[in-house]
Amino acid sequence: MSVFVHKHSRVIIQGFTGQHATFHAEESMQNGTTVVGGVTPGKGGQTHLGLPVFDTVSQAVEETGADVSGIFVPPPFAADAIMEALEAGIGVIVVIADGIPVQDMVRVKRYAADRDAIIIGPNTPGIITPDACKVGIMPSHIYTPGRIGVVSRSGTLNY
């Protein structure tokens, strides 16, 4: 059973070449997630973890068919990253960052209102369908496939 992400999800990571994103992207891939590339402005054309790096989300979607984005950018840049993902047609957006200014998220919610997308976060550990797809920072090994799911509004109560 899956909620929002599944074994066919094609994931990109925004902020891909950063230390935090690198660690969690690698861990996700080791546990079955199909990460198809990442976005780090100014580093397009490079490879990271054996995957292509793009300058924009639109380029990443066009080249890879990505439909999910994990956002690992600093809080001051998160709103723009979310709106870039929305503009590119990403359907599931997972925002790890905590401390995003409230007014930025109000702007994001307004921008997202007419788009068919799900925004998980900010301040979320992510989302997982065990043995299929994980986008976030939670440890994969503590989850097992089954028919019960857990959703938490708190970044600390999920595991």
> Taking all residues of the chain, what is their mean pLDDT, rounded to a whole number?
93
The residue-averaged pLDDT of 107-133 equals 92
Residue 158 pLDDT exceeds 70? no
Band (148; pLDDT cuts 50, 70, 90):
confident
Return the pLDDT at 150.
Answer: 66
Contact 14, 20 (CB under 8 A): no
Please tell me the distance from the alpha carbon of residue 127 to that of residue 14, in angstroms, as a whole number. 16
Query: What is the reported pTM?
Result: 0.94
pLDDT tens-digit map of 14-56: 999 999 999 999 999 999 999 999 999 999 999 999 999 999 9
pLDDT of residue 146: 86
Phi-psi bin for 32: left (phi > 0), alpha (psi -120 to 50), beta?
Answer: left
The CATH architecture to which 11-142 belongs is: 3-Layer(aba) Sandwich (3.40)
Q: What is the mean pLDDT of residues 72-92?
A: 98
